[in-house]
Amino acid sequence: MTLNSMTIGDKPFYNLFLDDCRNPDNVTWIELPKVAWQVVRSYGEFIRYIECHGIPRIVSFDCDLAPEHYVAWLQLAEIKFEEPTGCDCVKWLVEFCRKNNKVFPIHFIHTRNLVGMALMNEYIQNHIYGKFNNEQRHNN
Terminal Cα distance for the chain, rounded: 40
Q: How far apart are CA 67 and CA 37, in angstroms?
A: 24
pLDDT > 70 in the chain, percent? 73
CA distances from 7 to 4, 14, 48, 134 (A): 9, 9, 20, 30
Enumerate domains of the chain plus CATH numbers: 7-139 (3.40.50)
Angle between helices 114-139 and 86-99 (to 10 degrees): 20
Read off the pLDDT of residues 86-126 as tens digits, 9 standing for 90 and up.
999 999 999 999 999 999 999 999 998 888 899 899 999 99
Residue 127 has pLDDT above 80, yes or no: yes
On the question of pLDDT at 132 being above 50, the answer is: no
| Nearest-angstrom CA–CA distance, 138 and 91 | 25
| Rg of the chain over all Cα atoms, to the nearest angstrom | 16
Q: What is the pLDDT of residue 73?
A: 53
Q: DSSP secondary-structure letter at 25?
A: G
Q: What is the pLDDT of residues 37-95, one digit of tens each?
A: 999 999 999 999 999 999 999 999 998 886 555 555 555 555 666 788 899 999 999 99
Separation between Cα atoms, residue 89 and residue 18, nearest integer Å: 9
